[in-house]
Structure 1
Amino acid sequence: MAKTKKNIRAKAKGAVGVAKQKAQDVQAQLNKSERQERLLHKTLTPKKTTTKKEKSALKHKKLLQRFADSRKERKNVQSSKKKPAVGDLKPLRDALPSLSDLYKLVKSKSKDAAEQTALTEPEVPLSVKQKIKKKRADIVNRAKSFEKLVKDKHFKENPRGVIGSLVRNKYRTMEEDNE
């Protein structure tokens, strides 16, 4: 009984080997026919003989074409940048002050500036040491104000709200100084 099992196994292995060999042969035939078709195709097409001069002329034409394409692309990019904003501009127009208000504002500022220059003495330019002292004092004041802000309990609770209020107050004082 043991011999019959061995014989069956050997026959099965042999059959598997034969099937693999046939599959490989079929695959080789297919590859061979594809190779022959490619070779035939290559041999049937006439080869182009180009001189060195013609090749360099072709390269030159391609280079000029690339330059022209890049120039066109650059112009397209620039023209797309110049296009106006699309959408409703009415809210923006409403938010801007009218021309008459701007004209009045400019006139009043020019009068104020002329009056102030007449009233004040011309400023003497600061020396280098004085500029350094002024910058140093400014930096120290800023650092102190930041330290004070960070230690503030309201800032720890709501930092955005505190910063927003500080900015609003700063702009109010700047407007008051301008008036």
Structure 2
Amino acid sequence: MAKTKRNIRAKAKSAVGVAKQKTQEVQAKLNKAVRQDKLLHKTLTPKKTTTKKEKSAQKHTKLLKRFVEIKKEFKEEQARKNREKTKVIGDLKPLRDALPSLGDIYKLVKSQKRETNEQTALTEPEPLSAKKKIQKKRNENVRKVQSFEKLIKDKKFRRNPREVIANHLRNKYQAMEEEDAE
């Protein structure tokens, strides 16, 4: 019987040990939850983990930005000092008289706008009706067909079409240049 008592005692001890361990785990979870509630106001968002390489790259870009800002400030300071050194000598009245007044500029701009509006009103064609549009397209197509028929019948074109096309293009460009010159 002694062996059975030892086994029972051992089983009881192990059961007590398991129970203690479980209660400790539960207590740890409760303590952790309480600590999290206390720390919640400090860290609302999870922290990002950055590598050493990323940190060094960020430091490098910050440093470069600082250098650029310092250089910009230095240039601005130099420009300000140069502006302070330069002084206007003499009277500014002749310069002011040479410049046009704001009223004159306003009148000039307004008159130019009127002229452009009048020109566009004169050059705008009246809108065509549907029948007139169809008739116009038809006449253009007939003229194109007739010109192609003439071209095909032409003896010079049959002999050397490239030369005829080149001459035609030269004549067109000359006509365009003359129009631009006028």
Q: Could you tell me the TM-score, scaled by structure 1's length?
A: 0.32
